[in-house]
Amino acid sequence: MAVATCGPGSIGTSGPPSPSPRKEEARAIDPRELVGDPKSYVGQNFYVQGYAVSVEQQVDYTWVNLQAQVPGRQLTESIVVELRPRDSKVLKDDCYRVYGIGAGTQQVTRTFNNATATIPYVRSYAWEAIARDLFGFGCSTTPASRLDQIPVATPLPYVQPATVAPTVIATPRITSVPVVTSVPVVVRVPSSVVVSIHDPALEYRVFYSGQVRQFDAIISDQFDKIMTGLPIRWSVMPPGFGTITSTGAFTAGRTSGRGSVVATAGSASGQMDFYTELLVATTIQVSPWPDNLRPGQTQQFTAVVKDQLGNILVGQAVVWSLSPGLTGTVTSSGLYTAGAPSSGGVRATVGSISNFVIVSIY
């Protein structure tokens, strides 16, 4: 199951809700039919129920990515619900029955793999919190507000036996005994782990030594339901390609090549591959560009070295030299002393890259 993010700026098709819709007139629908032909439900009054995968609180409304349940089946379909007015009581992972009007489709982005998808879009005018089912994996059909109205079986009151006359044998009274049925306990365990980068704008997973990136993990159980609150063990393979904290903060190491960030929950694990590159000198800027010099006059030059990201590299070994034809001398620190009248370049070199300025002596 993929979690999706949505927003008010990406509505595909929509239609105005019918005037003053009522819950009593709403009909239950199979969300598979809504997903299959959302246009046919535009303006229709219906209700679905399911659990909130994600909730986004805006200024005057609430966006909900709802996993709507297929009646009688362990299947769900994704729909986007707009709740107006804004309601802060709607919580992620809780179950709801949503009454609404079909409004077309909504464009969403899967945080699972950054892929886009078009899913049904519903404008809700009323909602009810509902309880989890018997095993806690789905949503029951009873609203939470009505749970206290469900009749509970109570044992029969104790009846004092009648007084038995000396010559009469009392017939024992038979009362019904409630039968207790044991409920099987199903244990949810992690079954799959999906690792992702917290910043979806990172299209290429190439990190430079020293860069820090936040990783996330989505854990699902054997029923493909998301599990939260579980401890996650993070690691980097091979170890020399970086380090990672217990919260998923990764720091790229000083090794070039391909590595993996691994997240483990219970016996399930998942990974995301990445590439690391070393930061190296890419450009040199020599300054200043002096006015004409006279013989014997001195000029201090400096070189600024930057890496491929545009960051200044300090501590680089700069080699200073003069081009053929320019007289004078230059020290290892870039101090130039003009010689006889001539013209040429003062050059700074780091590794295989270099740059220069032109000097003229009169």
Same structural domain for residues 140 and 236? no
Residue 147 is predicted with a pLDDT of 40
Inform me whether the pLDDT recorded for 176 exceeds 80.
no
Question: What gap in Å lies between CA 119 and CA 347, rounded to an integer?
Answer: 61
Beta-bridge partners for 84 = none
Q: What is the mean pLDDT of residues 327-347?
A: 95
CA dist., res. 261 & res. 194, Å (int): 11
Average pLDDT for 343-349: 95
* Residue 234 and residue 134 in one domain: no
How many whole angstroms separate alpha carbon 331 and alpha carbon 314? Answer: 19
Least confident window among 18-22, 116-120, 310-314: 18-22
Residue 150 within any structural domain of the chain: no
Classify residue 300: in a domain, yes or no.
yes
Task: Examine the domain organization and report whether 21 and 116 are in the same domain.
Answer: yes
Residue 86 has pLDDT above 70, yes or no: yes
- Asked if residue 329 belongs to a domain, the reply is yes
Of 73, 79, 202, 199, residue with least CA distance to 139: 73
Q: What is the pLDDT of residue 91?
A: 87
Q: Which residue has the higher pLDDT, 143 or 252?
A: 252
Q: What angle do CA 134, 140, 141 make, to 5 degrees?
A: 145
Confidence of residue 173 (pLDDT cuts 50, 70, 90): low
Residue 121 has pLDDT above 80, yes or no: yes
* Model confidence band, residue 146 (pLDDT cutoffs 50, 70, 90): very low
Quickly state the pLDDT bin for 331 (edges 50, 70, 90).
very high
Domain assignment of residue 299, given as a range: 283-361
pLDDT 10s digits, 52-79: 988 998 888 898 988 888 887 777 888 9
Banded model confidence at residue 335, pLDDT cuts 50, 70, 90:
very high
Query: Do residues 359 and 299 touch, judged by C-beta distance below 8 A?
Result: yes
Within this chain, do residues 128 and 244 fall inside the same structural domain, yes or no? no
Residue 352: what are its φ and ψ, rounded to 5°?
A: -100, 5
Q: Which residue has the higher pLDDT, 327 or 54?
A: 327
Mean pLDDT over 165-192 rounds to 69
Judge if 76 and 126 occupy the same domain.
yes
In a domain, 169, yes or no: no
Q: How many Cβ atoms are within 10 Å of 161's Cβ, its own excluded?
A: 8
Decide: pTM greater than 0.85: no
Q: What is the mean pLDDT of residues 261-284?
A: 92
pLDDT at 17: 45
Q: Which residue has the higher pLDDT, 137 or 41?
A: 41
Q: Is the pLDDT of residue 1 over 60?
A: no
- Here the tokens at position 354 are 């270099």
- Count of domains in the chain? 3
Query: What does the block give as tokens for 325?
Result: 């034809």
Residues 16-39 have a mean pLDDT of 83
Mean pLDDT of 257-262: 93
- Which range, 4-13, 173-182, 246-255, has the best average confidence (pLDDT)? 246-255
Q: Does residue 168 belong to any structural domain of this protein?
A: no
Give domain status of residue 182, yes or no: no
Mean pLDDT within 322-348: 95
- The span from the CA of 193 to the CA of 265, in Å, is 7
Residue 290 covered by a domain: yes
Type and span of the H or E element at 192: strand 190-197
pLDDT bracket for residue 334 (50, 70, 90): very high
Residues paired with 109 in a beta bridge: 5, 116
Is the pLDDT at 309 greater than 50, yes or no? Answer: yes
pLDDT band at 293 (very low <50, low <70, confident <90, very high): very high
Q: Is 139 helix (H, G, I), strand (E, B) or coil?
A: strand
Residues 23 and 134 in one domain: yes
CA distance 246 to 231: 9
Do 235 and 344 share a domain, yes or no?
no
CATH number of the structural domain spanning residue 127: 2.40.50.140
Q: Based on the domain organization, do 335 and 238 belong to the same domain? A: no
Is 324 found in the same domain as 252?
Answer: no
**Residue 232 sits in a domain of what CATH number?**
2.60.40.1930
**Which of these three, 248, 277, 306, is where a domain ends?**
277
3-state secondary structure 72-123: CCCCEEEEEEEECCCCCCCCCCCEEEEEEEEEEEEEEEECCCCCEEEEEEEE
User: What integer pLDDT is reported at residue 138 of this predicted model?
Assistant: 66
* Per-residue confidence (pLDDT) for residue 10, from 0 to 100: 40
Residue 116 has pLDDT above 80, yes or no: no
Residues 27 and 100 in one domain: yes
Looking at residue 296, its pLDDT comes to 94
Question: What pLDDT, on the 0 to 100 scale, is given for residue 278?
Answer: 86
Last residue of a domain, one of 277, 297, 326: 277
Looking at per-residue pLDDT, the higher value among 298 and 106 belongs to: 298
Closest CA to 185 of 228, 231, 135, 221: 135
Residues 308, 227 share a domain: no
Give the number of other CB atoms < 10 A from CB of residue 28. 11
What gap in Å lies between CA 183 and CA 190, rounded to an integer?
22
d(CA 111, CA 256): 28
| Cα radius of gyration (the chain) | 36
End residue of a domain, out of 75, 109, 144: 144
pLDDT of 231 strictly over 60: yes
170 within a domain of the structure (yes/no): no
Is 115 found in the same domain as 69? yes
CA distance 342 to 360: 6
Please count the CA atoms within 13 angstroms of the CA of 19 that sit on its side-chain side.
0
